[in-house]
Amino acid sequence: MKLLIAFSLLILLTAFQEQISCFSLSKPASPGYYQDGDFVIGGLFSLRVTAGDTRSKFGFTDTTHIPEYVYVDFTKHYQHMLAMVFAIEKINKDPNILFNMSLGFYVFNVDFIEMKAVESSMALLSGESPLVPNYSCRPEKTDKLVAVIGGISTGISTQISRVLSLYNVPQISYAPFDQSFETKVQLQSPYQFPVHTTALYQGIIQLLLYFSWVWVGLVVPDDVRGELFLRDITEEMNNHGLCVAFAEKFPEFPAKDTGNREHFMERFTLTRVIVAFGDTYSLLRFVYIIFCNTPFGNVWVTTSDWDITTLPFQQNLGYTYFGGGLSFSVHTDEILGFKDFLRSVQPRKYPQDIFIQDVWSILFECPYFDQHWIRELSQCEQNGNLSTRPLHFWDMNASPSSYKVHAAVYAIAQALHEELLLTLEGDSLHKDLPQAPLPWKLHPFLQKGQLRRSSNEENVVNKEVSATKLDIFNYQALQNGSKAQVKVGEFVFESHSVQHFSLNEELITFGEHHSQTPFSVCSPSCPLGFRKSPVEGKPFCCFDCLPCPDGEIANETDMGQCIKCPEDQYPNRQRNQCLPKITEFLSHEDTLGAVLVFVALSFSAFSAMILGLFICYRDTPIVRANNRNLSYLLLVSLMLCFFCSLIFIGQPKTVTCVLRQMIFGVVFSVAVSAILAKTFIVVVAFRAIKPGSALKMSMVIRLSNAIVFCGSIIQVCICAVWLGTYPPFPDVDMQSEFGQIILWCNEGSTLAFYCVLGYLGFLASLSLLIAFLARRLPDSFNETKTITFSMLVFCSVWISFVPTYLSSKGKTMVAVEILAILASSAGLLGCIFLPKCYMILMSSGGHSRIKFFK
């Protein structure tokens, strides 16, 4: 009996303590907008940025309330609430979804204050205010909360999840997708709408590449999402040849900005294009800094999470700062009937909506009526239409966040449908008193849909999808003066190898500061014919332009290395293309070739005339002197010397290359040997006619013939060895002359070639030496003086030939050798035979005794 009494007292004490907790130890939460239903969905939204909560943090006792200072009113965020209301109204009109049961909602404005998010979350769990942690101040059967939608940012969503996860209440966040949720939430992370971040990065990269924007600034919030974006986008940019001009991080508003604002604005002038990643709230500090400075005319590339159409601190100036911006948004289908619903929204339609009063007074610019800057709704248009509001105040198109809220409501309704269906099949549903299912029972059904959550057990944050489609919008001014986000392209990402990027450039405008597509480069493009040279200490997008070296071209702009032309081509003067080289050789059609042919033929004819003259006057003493047969042989060899120069003219072929040097060497050897024999005859003849001399003229003649034969046969042997080892052959020279392919005869063995010349030089030197020594012999019919002079000419020509030949290239080298042949041959012909011809022609009958060169 005593035990029963004690137990009863314990129950009464517990109930009494519960009542004290619910009514005495609590404080009121922020007011909310409630609509009853069989099932209630909580909504935590952020409509403004305030100075913060003035009550003691997490102290559940009342304090003096001080009116909050409002920094920014985000009137467009009211659309998120309306998307929830619209979805619930549509679901309630369809009896097949919830089996004639209804959905209700309980929404709060938590601003962007995490403490308010915690309080409002507890208010959803505790019921009517005042709220009490870990207590429910409403009857069990009226506990209708099944899920919560919120919040707008990672920080808000995290704080909401810390409360709801204790009770296993499903939470669907409509914040931008964040992979780091699992590290911030201790129990369960909220459901998120997954975004293929790789597709977003690739879309931005493709846009930058399309406009050749290679010098780009990056702006991110100073949080984990910003760090991940900087890491990933920088890597992708480097892989595609793009450079980061600067990367700036900004703390969330209203945290104090510790950065150097002037330094930041200076960096803004480094580039025309800036990629900003973040949402409207996380970039609020950054927008404020922009607003405090003169617009620089930058082009902004961002995502739909940041609404560039709104400049919160001076909304009508948003286009001046961010006009022409390009934003990426995940493709969504239009929410049917949502625009018509927005047109019908008015304060009188939703009299219990405490939030529409403030939003409406701002949208329709109601006047202030007291010193606290509170607007009076009764003094402005009550029957206005939201579609008449400008873009910086309101957008009739569903925002990505509104689309997420709408989808979240339908996901919860579908989960309820499946749970109720199971209950009906089990015949456990009380038809007279419908009761909301326990919230945790909805988790299995929510996980089946498109929602994803991160946990330590399973990571499905970035689950691959078959294809991700991103729409590209351009913020521009229309002809009627209004502003709009115009779709100008799309990007479909399936994989790194399968991507589809399309852009209608004609639809794009770049704001007030650019009449055409702006450039964003660190260094101007290197034109054709120039290559890039890296600048030390700067990114690879910064470079100097250097002209291509000789023999190389750059046929594209911004080439890192010049390319060599093929051997049969050469670069033009601009060094931007390779032209076919001209085949060049000493031909008969060339002026030089024709002149040399004429000279060679003339000297050959002249030699033939002298030979005819000598034959005609063969019995005269002047012809018979010094062995006329040697004179005939010398004239014939000289004639052949002139003729052999013709073989050097024309396109080189195997036969001509072999013959030209062999004939030249042998014929000249015969000629010089004949001169040597003549010199020998002069010296020996004067000794043979002396009294007592054992020499006879017949022996002298035989010795002279032997000299000619031996002198020639040695050269023949040298040429034979040359032919047998490494003979001359036709070759091409593509390097010596710019733009020309020189066809020439490669001598094969250079040693053999110079042996031939050296042997000729030896014979000529020997002749010169003997002739010089015999110059004082009696001069009647003495040819030593003319031979000495001719050998001086011959040796001078060939000594001059060697350095000239070595320094010449192409057909000039051939012409030098021909000139040496003609000059030395002409010197021999002129010095030896012209005086004799003169004496023959001038003598009477040719029988007079002649003395010359006394």
Span 345-397, pLDDT tens digits: 998 888 888 898 888 888 887 766 655 555 666 667 777 889 888 888 889 99
Smallest CA-to-CA distance from 300 within 277, 281, 279 is with 277
**pLDDT reported for residue 23:** 38
**pLDDT reported for residue 283:** 86
Alpha carbon distance 241, 245 (integer Å): 13
Q: Which residue has the higher pLDDT, 837 or 377?
A: 837
For residue 613, the SS3 value is: helix
pLDDT range class, residue 336, cuts 50, 70, 90? very high
Cβ-based neighbours of 216, under 8 Å, separated by 6 or more: 208, 237, 242, 243, 244, 245, 271, 273, 274, 275, 301, 520
Query: Any idea which residue has 């929404």 for tokens?
Result: 107
**pLDDT reported for residue 89:** 95
Alpha carbon distance 843, 849 (integer Å): 9
For residue 98, the SS3 value is: helix
**pLDDT reported for residue 259:** 60
> Is 11's pLDDT higher than 60?
no
**pLDDT reported for residue 339:** 93
> Is 836's pLDDT higher than 50?
yes
**pLDDT reported for residue 338:** 94
Segment 660-670, tens digit of pLDDT = 889 989 999 99
pLDDT range class, residue 698, cuts 50, 70, 90? low
- Do residues 324 and 476 lie in contact, with contact meaning Cβ atoms separated by under 8 Å? yes
Mean pLDDT confidence for 683-690: 63
Listed as own residue / partner, the contacts of 86-91 with beta carbons closer than 8 Å and 24 or more positions apart are 86/335, 86/337, 86/338, 86/341, 86/406, 87/405, 87/406, 87/409, 87/410, 87/413, 88/35, 88/37, 88/41, 88/409, 89/341, 90/337, 91/409, 91/410, 91/413
Taking CA 664 as the corner, what is the angle to CA 658 and CA 667, rounded to the nearest 5 degrees?
Answer: 125
Strand partners, 375: 368
> Is 757's pLDDT higher than 50?
yes
Torsion of CA 588, 590, 592, 597, to 10 degrees: 20
* pLDDT-above-90 percentage for the chain: 28
**pLDDT reported for residue 692:** 52
Mean pLDDT confidence for 139-156: 80
> Is 144's pLDDT higher than 60?
yes
> Is 816's pLDDT higher than 80?
yes
| Residue 108 phi, psi (nearest 5) | -130, 155
**pLDDT reported for residue 495:** 83
pTM (predicted TM-score): 0.69
Mean pLDDT confidence for 473-501: 87
Of 177-181, 406-410, 428-432, 678-682, the least confident? 428-432
Segment 423-452, tens digit of pLDDT = 776 655 444 444 667 888 888 888 887 676
> Is 476's pLDDT higher than 60?
yes
Segment 547-559, tens digit of pLDDT = 999 889 999 988 8
> Is 413's pLDDT higher than 90?
yes
Segment 521-534, tens digit of pLDDT = 888 888 999 999 98
Q: Which residue has the higher pLDDT, 511 or 613?
A: 613
Highest mean pLDDT among 147-161, 173-187, 362-376: 147-161
Burial 7-30 (b: 16+ CB within 10 A, else e): eeeeeeeeeeeeeebbeeebbebb
- Cβ count near 658 (within 10 Å): 20
**pLDDT reported for residue 736:** 76
> Is 784's pLDDT higher than 90?
no
- Do residues 739 and 763 lie in contact, with contact meaning Cβ atoms separated by under 8 Å? no
For residue 475, the SS3 value is: strand
Segment 13-59, tens digit of pLDDT = 343 344 434 433 334 456 789 999 989 999 999 998 887 654 434 44
Of 14-18, 314-318, 843-847, the least confident? 14-18
